[in-house]
Amino acid sequence: MVNTSLLVYHSDLKCTSIFQRTLDDILRNHIGRRCFVYIDDIIIFSKDKQSHLEDIKIIFETLCDANMKVQVDKCEFLKNHVEFLGFIVSENGIKTNPAKVEAITNFPTPKTLKDLRSFLGLSGYYRRFVRDYAKLAKPLTNLLRGEGGQTSKNISKKTQIKLNSDAIEAFNKIKSALTEEVMLHYPDFTKEFQLTTDASEYALGAVLAQNDRPIMFISRTLSKAEENYATNEKEMLAIIWALTLRNYLYGSVKIKIFTDHQPLTYALSSKTITTK
């Protein structure tokens, strides 16, 4: 793998999106096949060393033909793992960056709304590595709302807050979950997927896996209307939401869905299923 930085001068923020589009266009025949691009960072991936050397040559020639200059001293070549966009990417899967996780685990107890939003922003970036993140974070996200459900955008960031026992527990659980160094594996579309879903009083969660190895953890909180759903309706919503969100599962060889809500299995096998 190689992490390549391209030399470019930015006059304003618009240059970032312009440069992204330009590089996407230049490498359009290679993105997804032998490389991925984010602004001025390129990661090249290959199945073996010989293929990798050929892919590097192809990418460099493509950039050269487009008059793009590569800053070689910021390149990393022939790596079996590389840091990319805050993740450690290897042939086995994707992990969190230990340096980023350390910043989260050392984060002091939030004392203002600004502190809280910073913590949720940092930890939320890695939510795909944490099972039921939305459920864990709910006591904290509740603090982002003032009286009458006013959002924190309408409240001063300097507003002092005090975490109650539930919020402190959530704060510590999120930190603990991120220290587990979970690896997310790459999907194999020729093999069976396992989708495990769950619904709580105020959140939905799902784990996509293959051979009991996690590919991704997803979760979200329920809307006010959804919170009024019956338990079996929430459990079904979790399944539908997870499948809809991961639409690349459509056409997969086989998807096995697991739920811990036994009545739902009876409802699905019933000859009279309501439209809701």
Mean pLDDT on 263-275? 59
Q: What is the pTM of this model?
A: 0.79
Mean pLDDT on 235-256? 81
Q: How far apart are CA 93 and CA 114, in angstroms?
A: 33
Instruction: Indicate if the pLDDT at residue 14 is higher than 70.
Output: no
Topology of domain 98-179 in CATH is Alpha-Beta Plaits (3.30.70)
Q: How far apart are CA 241 and CA 218, in angstroms?
A: 10
Q: How far apart are CA 257 and CA 198, in angstroms?
A: 11
Say if domain 185-269 classifies as CATH 2.60.120.470.
no
Please report the pLDDT score of residue 2 as a whole number. Answer: 38
Domain ranges of the chain: 2-91, 98-179, 185-269
Q: What would be the CATH architecture of the domain defined by 2-91?
A: 2-Layer Sandwich (3.30)
Read off the pLDDT of residues 152-199 as tens digits, 9 standing for 90 and up: 555 566 788 889 999 999 999 999 999 998 999 998 888 999 999 999
Domain 2-91 shares a fold with domain 185-269: no
